């Protein structure tokens, strides 16, 4: 009730331990505190907070228009309702290396368990779009080192380096960048837009730290199963936009039903029921505080 019975520091510690298990960890994307609660109820391993989704939820495209304050505050709201670890998209870090240090400090204070930082130029683009431009490797190394400096508040906060170089420089250059990022202090690598199993395998063979796979719908690559990704040697998979797409797809259909029929009756099978919502938010448990809060029957 109100807050999970686990501290942010404990979440980070447990997340580190899970990463050593050798099992693939599944982190569905969450765009709402309520969705985070559902992800935990379904017994996933963690929560992912997408920069694209946060931008889209504000009505913007994913081109780096959000601010650190907006993302960090929303990240806290989404992370605090679950005992699961939450990792968040830091885009390009909101500025120069010193800004990156502050970004990491903010995320730690907001209760997050890790973040990924990418090597795109601003304005950034979605990882599965064409014509992405990446910064010089040396510039990204400075940001990674700055990120490592920022995690002194909690060494268990996970620094993930994302490289978008596959699309513009090729696989070999992307691997070279990933190796350099690890040497600079990155503790996990997020190779964006790998195109086939051989590329996933090549990255795994070359990189010694854990690897993150991005299973986003309607992108450039195949949607691999949990077993397939485990067999490829990956350690964590994110489904960044899945829950938002599900919600918006159902909303689109439901509004069409109301518009065409004049009522929402036909849309009821698509909806979470009132009882399901009350169960998810632990409505009855709050009765322990005040009998007047929950004094009715459905």
Q: Which tens digits make up the pLDDT trace of 96-115? A: 999 999 999 999 999 999 99
Which pLDDT value is given to residue 2? 75
Q: Which of 65-79, 135-149, 173-187, 283-297 has the lowest mean pLDDT?
A: 283-297
Which pLDDT value is given to residue 298? 65
What pLDDT band is residue 3 in, cutting at 50, 70 and 90?
Answer: confident
Identify whether 214 is a catalytic site residue. Answer: yes
Which pLDDT value is given to residue 285? 83
| Runs of H (alpha helix) within 185-267 | 197-206, 226-231, 242-261
Identify whether 89 is a catalytic site residue. Answer: yes
| Choice among 91, 106, 119, 187 that is catalytic | 91
Bridge partners (DSSP) of residue 278 are none
| Choice among 106, 164, 187, 192 that is catalytic | 192
How far is it, in rounded angstroms, from Cα 163 to Cα 115? 14
Does the CA dihedral 196-189-129-26 come out positive or negative?
Answer: positive
| Choice among 40, 62, 106, 119 that is catalytic | 62
User: Which residues neighbour 12 within 8 Å (Cβ) at sequence distance 6 or greater?
Assistant: 85, 113, 114, 154, 156, 157, 158
Identify whether 274 is a catalytic site residue. Answer: no
Mean pLDDT of all residues in the chain?
94
Q: Are strands 188-191 and 158-163 parallel, antiparallel or unpaired?
A: parallel
Which pLDDT value is given to residue 254? 98
- Which residue ranges make up each domain of the chain? 8-240, 248-288
Tell me the two tokens of residue 249: 């797809």
Label residue 257 exposed, middle or buried (CB < 10 Å: 0-12, 13-18, 19+). Answer: middle
> Selecting from 3.40.50.300, 3.30.360.10, 3.20.20.60, 3.60.150.10, what CATH number does the domain 8-240 have?
3.20.20.60
Per residue in 173-190, pLDDT (tens digit) is: 999 999 999 999 999 999
130: DSSP letter:
S
Average pLDDT of the residues in 183-204 = 97
Which pLDDT value is given to residue 164? 95
Per residue in 27-55, pLDDT (tens digit) is: 999 999 999 999 999 999 999 999 999 99
**Does residue 126 have a pLDDT over 70?**
no
**Does residue 122 have a pLDDT over 60?**
yes
Identify whether 116 is a catalytic site residue. Answer: yes
| Choice among 12, 74, 125, 162 that is catalytic | 162
Which pLDDT value is given to residue 140? 98
**Does residue 256 have a pLDDT over 80?**
yes
What pLDDT band is residue 123 in, cutting at 50, 70 and 90?
Answer: low
**Does residue 205 have a pLDDT over 60?**
yes
Which pLDDT value is given to residue 258? 98
């Amino acid at each position: 009730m109100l807050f999970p019975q686990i501290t942010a520091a404990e979440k980070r510690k447990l997340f580190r331990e899970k990463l050593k298990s050798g099992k693939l960890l599944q982190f569905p994307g969450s765009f709402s505190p309520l969705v985070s609660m559902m992800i935990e109820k379904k017994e996933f391993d963690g929560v992912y907070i997408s920069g694209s989704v946060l931008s889209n939820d504000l009505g913007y495209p994913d081109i780096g228009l959000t601010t650190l304050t907006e993302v960090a505050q929303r990240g806290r709201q989404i992370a605090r309702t679950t005992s699961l670890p939450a990792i968040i998209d830091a885009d390009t870090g909101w500025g120069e290396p010193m800004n990156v240090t502050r970004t990491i400090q903010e995320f730690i204070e907001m209760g997050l368990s890790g973040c990924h930082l990418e090597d795109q130029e601003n304005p950034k683009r979605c990882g599965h779009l064409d014509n992405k431009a990446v910064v010089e490797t040396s510039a990204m190394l400075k940001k990674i080192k700055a990120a490592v400096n920022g995690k002194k508040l909690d060494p268990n906060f996970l620094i993930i380096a994302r490289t978008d170089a596959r699309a513009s420089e090729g696989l070999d250059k992307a691997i070279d960048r990933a190796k350099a990022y690890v040497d600079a202090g990155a503790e996990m690598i997020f190779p964006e837009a790998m195109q086939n199993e051989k590329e996933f395998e090549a990255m795994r063979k070359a990189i010694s730290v854990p690897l993150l796979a991005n299973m986003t719908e309607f992108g450039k690559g195949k949607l691999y199963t949990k077993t397939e990704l485990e067999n490829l040697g990956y350690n964590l998979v994110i489904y960044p936009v899945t829950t938002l797409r599900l919600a918006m797809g159902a909303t689109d259909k439901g509004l069409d039903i109301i518009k065409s029929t004049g009522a929402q009756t036909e849309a009821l099978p698509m909806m979470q029921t009132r009882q399901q919502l009350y169960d998810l938010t632990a409505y009855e448990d709050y009765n322990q505080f005040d009998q007047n809060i929950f004094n009715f029957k459905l």
